[in-house]
């Protein structure tokens, strides 16, 4: 159900997507769909939550398996760039931004259930890297937000505006490497190499 719903939201947008169309595509009755999701808002919320789980599971797995917090931070930041530029993530994000005034609870819930835990994961890694003397950061949450903005700001804006300069994995990686280098130049202790 969520895969079909995601495809409809991505292809048609929030306003044009109906539970009736989704039910027809799945091959179930509208009543069956309503038993699981009481409204289109609930279904879209489930789509966003599923995308968020993918992001958080990857970040948590990298954090748990890494012995170097700076390497883990880099790996998660690169994954985040790729993740945000996936069509289904990008379009869900576009809907939250564009239709957020119609479904404000979804934006609030997305921040609480996805954004805050994601920032907390990276903040822990940045804190550990700072404690090890690998970088300078006193406000780890702010440092995390600066990093995420640096890594995804322009690529996401560019893609949302239909320019698609970041469709190519090589171009994305080149941009990421430059952004990561700029980030490190701002947070690494001056006497480190």
Q: Is residue 124 part of a domain?
A: yes
Q: Is residue 144 part of a domain?
A: yes
Q: Residue with structure tokens 């990561």? A: 180
Residue 99 structure tokens? 């239709």
The pLDDT, as a whole number, for residue 193 is 43
User: What does the longest C-alpha to C-alpha distance in the chain come to?
Assistant: 66
Rg (CA), the chain: 19
Q: Is residue 100 part of a domain?
A: yes
The pLDDT, as a whole number, for residue 140 is 96
Q: Residue with structure tokens 């993918």? A: 54
Q: Is residue 6 part of a domain?
A: no
Measured CA distances, 164 to 25, 77, 86 (Å): 30, 20, 11
CA distance linking residue 165 with residue 53, whole number of Å? 27
Q: Is residue 172 part of a domain?
A: yes
CA distance linking residue 44 with residue 33, whole number of Å? 13
Q: Is residue 15 part of a domain?
A: no
The pLDDT, as a whole number, for residue 159 is 87
Q: Is residue 183 part of a domain?
A: yes
Nearest to 19 by CA among 61, 56, 47: 47
Q: What are the residue ranges in the chain where pLDDT is below 70? A: 190-193
Q: Is residue 128 part of a domain?
A: yes
The pLDDT, as a whole number, for residue 114 is 94
Measured CA distances, 177 to 1, 68, 69, 152 (Å): 37, 18, 17, 12
Q: Which domain holds residue 158?
A: 55-187
CATH of residue 123: 1.10.357
Tell me which H or E stretch contains 53: helix 40-65
Whether the Cβ atoms of residue 152 and residue 91 lie closer than 8 Å to each other: no
Torsion sign across C-alpha atoms 53, 56, 59, 64: negative
Split into its structural domains, the chain has a count of: 1
């Amino acid at each position: 159900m969520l895969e079909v719903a995601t495809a409809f939201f991505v292809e048609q947008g929030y306003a044009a997507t109906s539970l009736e169309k989704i039910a027809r595509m799945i091959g179930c009755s509208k009543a069956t769909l309503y038993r699981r999701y009481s409204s289109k808002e609930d279904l879209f919320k489930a789509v966003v939550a599923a995308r968020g789980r993918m992001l958080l599971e990857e970040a948590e797995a990298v954090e748990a398996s890494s012995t170097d917090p700076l390497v883990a931070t880099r790996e998660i930041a690169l994954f985040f760039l790729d993740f945000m530029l996936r069509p289904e993530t990008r379009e869900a994000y576009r809907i939250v931004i564009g239709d957020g005034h119609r479904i404000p609870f979804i934006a609030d819930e997305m921040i609480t259930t996805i954004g805050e835990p994601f920032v907390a994961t990276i903040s822990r890694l940045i804190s550990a890297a700072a404690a090890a003397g690998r970088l300078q950061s006193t406000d780890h949450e702010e440092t995390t937000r600066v990093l995420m903005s640096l890594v995804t700001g322009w690529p996401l804006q560019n893609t949302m505006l239909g320019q698609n300069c970041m469709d190519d994995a090589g171009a994305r990686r080149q941009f990421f490497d430059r952004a990561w280098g700029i980030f490190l130049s701002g947070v690494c202790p001056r006497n480190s190499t």
